[in-house]
């Protein structure tokens, strides 16, 4: 027990005093959070530029409160030069140009951007309908349409980014921690020295597991804390704390990957390269950086074989999708199974010494 404690302490001090390691485990993911947070801040509402040529009664007569709603989707700029407006639409600078000739509202659009053109056409059609109804004296329509997204209203980018980036940070922290400790301890003959002391291999490994779980908890606390700041605006669902067991299982899974990388590498450089080759592509393929919803089917199938996918999805489920803690059980099972298999392989390849 004392050797477990003192080895944990030695590892933890080694980590805290290693500026590079603390940067990559704690600050680097936070930098990603800031960068992605800024990039996707307005992704929910991207406005469409529309040019209004001359006076268009249906637009000009919209009451103030409805105008506010409209300006969330359309950015209307007034101009008097039709030719210049058409040129802008052709160049793709504006989505459409709207003019009114008597009772006819004309929408000039570019066929090059079908989506934006359809948006403008749809909105203008509804405005024209509304105008017709008003002129016909209908003030309260018999039918109204209200559209609501199925996700929580707050499912902004930060909601899926936080669990995704945190999952990646935990995965790389655990993988690099285990791989580099193993290789540099072997290279610096610390493993040989430990072999000459009565300490068991179990104590060495449990010390590493304990320290890695501690680091993962620290990463999570800092990361979630920052994401909760008003600038980022993360909103956690009620069972958010249920990410802790899944995080522990994920840490174990990636520790085992790190042990395997460390077992087959002779130098810290090689171990670091192998760990990077495993963790970075996996982060992309597991939806850590962006959702896989639009990815091709084969890629989504492939991602089901990656432990990070299960870690990230499961963390999203409890942290922001409001699922109950039991929803994480299958993923915990998968990650633990993965850990057992990979640790077994690493144990078979384990060497105390270089020579």
Partner 1 sequence: MVVRVHRMSTPTIEVSDLRKAYGEVKAVDGVSFEVQSGEFFGILGPNGAGKTTTLEMIEGLREPDSGRIAVLGESPWPRNPKLLPRIGVQLQASAFFERLTAREQIRTFASLYGVSAKRADEWLAIVGLEEMGSLPHEKLSGGQQQRLSIACALAHDPDVVFLDEPTSGLDPQARRNLWDVLRDINQQGRTVVLTTHYLDEAESLCDRVAIMDHGQILQSGPPAVLVRELDAPTRIAIESGTISLDAARALADGAEIDDDGVSLTFATRQPAPILAALAERDALRGLSVRGATLEDVFLNLTGREYRA
Give the per-residue contact string, 110-149, with partner 1 (x = CB under 8 A; - = no).
Answer: ----------------------------------------
Minimum Å gap between C-beta 204 and partner 1 is: 10
Please give the residues from 162 up to 191 whose contact with partner 1 meets the rule CB under 8 A: 184, 188-190
Give the per-residue contact string, 198-237, with partner 1 (x = CB under 8 A; - = no).
Answer: xx--------------------------------------
**Residues with Cβ < 8 Å from 184, sequence gap 6 or more?**
190, 268
Stretch that binds partner 1, among 11-19, 54-62, 96-104, 147-155 (CB under 8 A): 11-19
Q: How many residues sit in the footprint of partner 1 (CB under 8 A)?
A: 24
Judged by CB under 8 A, does residue 23 bind partner 1? no
Which one of residues 47, 78, 192, 351 is an interface residue with partner 1 (CB under 8 A)? 192
Cβ closer to partner 1: 67 or 193?
193
Judged by CB under 8 A, does residue 322 bind partner 1? no
Cβ closer to partner 1: 96 or 180?
180
Judged by CB under 8 A, does residue 297 bind partner 1? no
Cβ closer to partner 1: 107 or 191?
191
Which one of residues 95, 194, 257, 315 is an interface residue with partner 1 (CB under 8 A)? 194
Give the sheet arrangement for strand 74-79, strand by strand.
74-79, 48-53, 96-101, 104-109
Judged by CB under 8 A, does residue 348 bind partner 1? no
Nearest to 226 by CA among 24, 17, 32: 32
Minimum Å gap between C-beta 190 and partner 1 is: 5
Judged by CB under 8 A, does residue 13 bind partner 1? yes
Which one of residues 47, 67, 193, 266 is an interface residue with partner 1 (CB under 8 A)? 193
Judged by CB under 8 A, does residue 18 bind partner 1? yes
Instruction: Please report, as ranges, the residues that interact with partner 1 according to CB under 8 A.
Output: 2-3, 5-7, 9-10, 13-14, 17-18, 184, 188-190, 192-199, 353
């Amino acid at each position: 027990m004392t050797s477990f404690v003192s080895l944990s302490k030695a590892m933890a001090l080694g980590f805290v005093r290693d500026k590079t390691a603390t940067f990559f485990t704690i600050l680097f993911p936070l930098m990603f959070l800031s960068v992605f947070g800024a990039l996707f801040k307005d992704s929910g509402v991207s406005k469409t530029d529309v040019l209004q040529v001359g006076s268009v009664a249906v637009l000009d007569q919209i009451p103030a409160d409805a105008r506010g709603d409209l300006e969330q989707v359309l950015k209307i700029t007034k101009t008097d030069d039709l030719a210049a407006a058409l040129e802008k639409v052709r160049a793709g600078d504006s989505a459409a140009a709207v003019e009114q000739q008597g009772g006819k509202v004309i929408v000039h659009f570019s066929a090059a951007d079908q989506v934006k053109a359809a948006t403008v056409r749809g909105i203008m059609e509804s405005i024209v309908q509304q105008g017709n109804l008003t002129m016909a004296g209908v003030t309260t329509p018999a039918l109204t349409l209200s559209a609501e997204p199925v996700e929580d209203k707050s499912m902004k980018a930060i909601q899926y980014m936080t669990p995704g980036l945190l999952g990646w940070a935990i995965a790389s922290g655990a993988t690099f921690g285990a791989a580099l400790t193993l290789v540099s301890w072997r290279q610096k003959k610390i493993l040989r020295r430990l072999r000459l002391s009565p300490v068991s291999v179990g104590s060495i490994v449990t010390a590493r597991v304990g320290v890695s779980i501690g680091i993962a908890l620290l990463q999570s606390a800092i990361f979630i804390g920052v994401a909760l700041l008003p600038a980022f605006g993360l909103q956690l669902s009620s069972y958010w704390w249920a990410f802790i067991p899944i995080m522990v299982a994920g840490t174990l899974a990636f520790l085992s990957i790190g042990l395997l990388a460390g077992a087959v590498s002779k130098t810290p450089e090689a171990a670091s390269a192998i760990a990077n080759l495993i963790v970075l592509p996996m982060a992309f393929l597991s939806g850590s950086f962006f959702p896989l919803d639009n990815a091709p089917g084969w890629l989504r199938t492939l991602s089901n074989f990656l432990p990070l996918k299960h870690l990230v999805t499961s963390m999203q489920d409890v942290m922001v999708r409001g699922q109950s803690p039991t929803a994480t059980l299958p993923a915990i099972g998968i990650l633990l199974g993965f850990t057992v298999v990979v640790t077994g392989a690493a144990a078979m390849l384990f060497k105390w010494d270089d020579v």
